[in-house]
């Protein structure tokens, strides 16, 4: 049989590759982004209670009604935006499914989609599967949008621009003027929509990010994506949600119903109960302590740390340590020094290599201490 791949250039994700290699070499895994500390005991208590209730059958397609209502209240509290639980929110199997579903619903053959590099790896493949054309353009040297380049790239055929703020992998947050530029752009192109990946929305430090939820011009033209995995340290539960204007949502739901129909009922029911009892505004402080602990521990290392304004990722330059490619360097970091990180070049369409690697600091302090000790010896 001759099987023609629909994604000939796609391999296994770097996160899987690095986590596997870390395990094989018994290295401390600061590569794939996931927390290694326990989740909130209240969440576990609710899970234990709920699991014996009658919550094990299909939920309504768009989500458990109480969860939809409570998500709407969270958005009201966080961003002062009024969102209809019935018409504008969809519970998804993580942000990954939200992004995939949105792209399948909105991108037609030949439509262009702008991606800003370095970019998270789940954006491009769904565009190719929809027969769209990914237009990957670099962020500037500070990992902020290069508006000249964006304005030169966007045209009447551009269906979507995918934004990610706070940004994985750089930890950067868009400035007010970046947000204004985006507003100007959508006003200029009536067919352009924004897929706003805000999965790290509650993991910000000195400054909060500006959400598309907070800007009327933007939220009328945006699909905003959130992840409970990030916000509640439950990446394995694979649950999140998207918010979109009703007209767009109707198209997204058409795809969603045939992709998953509905999301895991137990997770939805537990989160519906948990949401009003938890304060998401405390998450930034929690991770800020971890960021500072990790950064302080590396002050005497030979790594140069870049600014980190949000997310649980810290970028580091190893340029004064080695001339190796970032892929070779991260491999040797595992085999020779026992710490796993992510090379940044894999987030760039042209694999541009700036001698930068990404560490995940969503780890307990003992793990971070052990890693810092090893990194300081390099
Ligand atoms: N977008 C970004 C920027 C991410 O870092 C991640 C990480 N997992 C996702 C989307 C996917 O989130 P989820 O695990 O909820 O699918
Ligand atoms: N978002 C995580 C990261 O950037 C990876 C999630 C995954 O492995 N799919 O590390």
Q: Ligand 2 atom closest to Cα of 168? A: 4
What are the structure tokens assigned to 65, written together?
């009604």
State mean pLDDT over 322-341. Answer: 96
Protein residue closest via CA to atom 4 of ligand 2: 33
End-to-end CA distance of the chain: 50
Picking from 12-21, 30-39, 76-85, 259-268, which range would have the lowest pLDDT averaged per residue? 12-21
Mean pLDDT calculated for residue range 5-27: 92
Assess whether pLDDT exceeds 90 at residue 239: yes
Mean pLDDT of 274-287: 97
For atom 3 of ligand 2, the residue with the nearest CA is: 33
The predicted structure's pLDDT at residue 32: 93
Residue nearest to atom 5 of ligand 1 (CA): 168
Q: Is the dihedral of CA 304, 307, 313, 315 positive or negative?
A: negative
pTM for the structure as a whole: 0.97
Beta strands in 276-346 (DSSP E): 304-305, 313-317, 339-340, 342-343
- Cross-strand pairs, 241: 91, 226
Whose CA is closest to atom 1 on ligand 2?
33
CATH number of the domain located at residue range(s) 14-32+281-375 in this protein = 3.90.1150.10
Q: Ligand 1, closest atom to CA 240?
A: 15
CATH 3.90.1150.10, the chain: domain bounds: 14-32+281-375
Tell me the C-alpha distance between 172 and 176, whole Å.
13
The CB of 20 under 6 Å from ligand 2? The reply is: no
CA–CA gap between residue 317 and residue 355 (Å, rounded): 6
For domain 41-277, give the CATH number.
3.40.640.10
Residue 67 has pLDDT above 90, yes or no: yes
What are the tens digits of pLDDT across the range 73-108? 999 999 999 999 999 999 999 999 999 999 999 999
Among 165, 230, 233, 358, say which to mutate for ligand 1: greatest number of ligand atoms within 8 Å of CB. 230
pLDDT tens for 165-220 read 999 999 999 999 999 999 999 999 999 999 999 999 999 999 999 999 999 999 99
The CB density around residue 154, as the number of other CB atoms within 10 Å, is 19
Give, for ligand 2, the residue of 11, 14, 15 to mutate: max count of ligand atoms closer than 8 Å to Cβ. Answer: 15
CA–CA dist 57, 100 (Å, integer): 25
Where in the chain is CATH 3.40.640.10? 41-277
- The ligand 1 atom at the shortest distance from the C-alpha of residue 311 is 5
Locate 204 and state its tokens: 């910000």
């Amino acid at each position: 049989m001759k099987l023609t791949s629909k994604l000939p250039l796609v391999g296994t994700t770097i996160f899987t590759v690095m986590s596997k290699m870390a395990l094989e070499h018994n290295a401390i895994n600061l590569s794939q982004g996931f927390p290694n500390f326990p989740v909130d005991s209240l969440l576990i208590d609710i899970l234990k209670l709920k699991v014996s209730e009658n919550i094990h059958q299909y939920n309504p397609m768009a989500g458990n009604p109480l969860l939809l209502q409570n998500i709407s209240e969270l958005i009201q509290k966080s961003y002062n935006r009024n969102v209809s639980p019935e018409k504008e929110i969809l519970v998804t199997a993580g942000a990954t499914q939200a992004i995939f579903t949105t792209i399948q619903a909105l991108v037609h053959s030949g439509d262009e989609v702008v991606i800003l590099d370095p970019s998270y790896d789940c954006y491009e493949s769904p565009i190719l599967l929809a027969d769209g054309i990914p237009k990957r353009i670099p962020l500037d040297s500070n990992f902020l949008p290069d508006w000249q380049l964006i304005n030169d790239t966007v045209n009447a055929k551009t269906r979507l621009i995918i934004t990610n703020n706070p940004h994985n992998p750089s930890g950067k947050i868009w400035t007010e003027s970046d947000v204004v530029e985006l507003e100007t752009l959508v006003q200029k192109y009536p067919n352009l929509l924004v897929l706003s990946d805000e999965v790290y929305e509650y993991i910000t430090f000195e400054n909060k990010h500006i959400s598309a939820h907070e800007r009327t011009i933007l939220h009328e033209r945006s699909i905003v994506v959130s992840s409970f995995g990030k916000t509640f340290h439950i990446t394995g539960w694979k649950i999140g949600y998207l918010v979109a204007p009703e007209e767009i949502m109707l198209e997204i739901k058409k795809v969603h119903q045939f992709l998953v129909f509905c999301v895991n009922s137990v997770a939805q029911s537990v989160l519906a109960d948990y949401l009003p009892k938890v304060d998401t505004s405390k998450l930034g402080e929690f991770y800020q302590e971890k960021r500072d602990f990790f950064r302080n521990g590396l002050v005497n290392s030979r790594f140069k740390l870049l600014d980190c304004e949000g997310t649980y990722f810290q970028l580091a330059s190893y340029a004064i340590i080695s001339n190796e490619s970032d892929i070779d360097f991260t491999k040797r970091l595992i085999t020779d020094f026992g710490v796993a990180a992510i090379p940044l070049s894999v987030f760039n369409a042209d694999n541009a290599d700036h001698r930068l690697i990404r560490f995940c600091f969503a780890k307990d302090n003992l793990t971070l201490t052990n890693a810092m000790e090893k990194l300081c010896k390099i």
